[in-house]
Amino acid sequence: MAAGTADVDKDEPDGVPGGHRFAAALRGEGLAVIAEIKRRSPSRGALKADANAADLASEYKAGGAACLSVLTERERFSGSPEDLQTAKAVTGLPVLRKDFLRTLDDVRDSHEMGADAMLVILADIDHAQLPPMQELALELGIDVLTEVRDEAELEAAVLLGAYMIAINQRDNPESTKFTVDYDKAVRVSRRFEGIDDRILLIAASGIGVPGGTSMRAIAEAGYDAALIGEALVVADDPPELLRDLLADAAE
């Protein structure tokens, strides 16, 4: 599906807006990985409190990550805009700003800090806010990743013009309980059949962790990418784990 209300060049290949590195990096053969940098989460507490953004970003690039996701929220995730800027400078990979972003000012802030893409959680905003946020983002050269949690939100996001959609397998991303439905991404993907294949579909949460959703299942369900955080952050050897995950997806 074309990118909503923005003035997008319809001649761009695969419907990707010109100059938008993040979305373009996720297209192509095979399942791509968006590797996430975060030190803690509200549900699990500290994951790697002393994580160095430059080191993790470099390890992710070495392991084959197509893009990076960086938490910039300080209070709950111990992130910062500086982490995003560092990760991008060190690797040159497209970087997603992951935070609780709800306003046009948040779009402008994301642009100013150098983000290539920004996360918008559909449940956090009035749905009518998404088109103007996406329009401004695209004008500034930023991609918008719209996060949904169920089939109803997926359908709403498509109707609103979202062109890059993440299915979060957690029932409540802000919950203090670690509750993940490891079958959700595959289940929800069935509702995606018949929708414009130019829309990028990303699976998030619970992927690559022990007993979690496998990369092969995500790939077979037709996803373009997987956003992986905790499994990589706590891994003894993030590049090796990332290469193993990508190999699993390719089998």
Q: What is the pLDDT of residues 73-116, one digit of tens each?
A: 977 877 799 999 999 999 999 999 999 999 999 999 999 999 99
Q: What's the chain's average pLDDT?
A: 87
Helices 104-112, 130-139: axis angle to 10 degrees equals 30
Q: For 152, how many CA atoms within 13 A lie in the half-sphere containing its CB?
A: 2
- CA 77 to centroid of chain Cα atoms: 16
| pTM, to two decimals | 0.88
> Other C-beta atoms within 10 Å of 103: how many?
12
- For the chain, the C-alpha Rg in angstroms (whole number) is 16
What integer is the mean pLDDT of 164-170?
Answer: 94
Residue with tokens 């699993």: 248
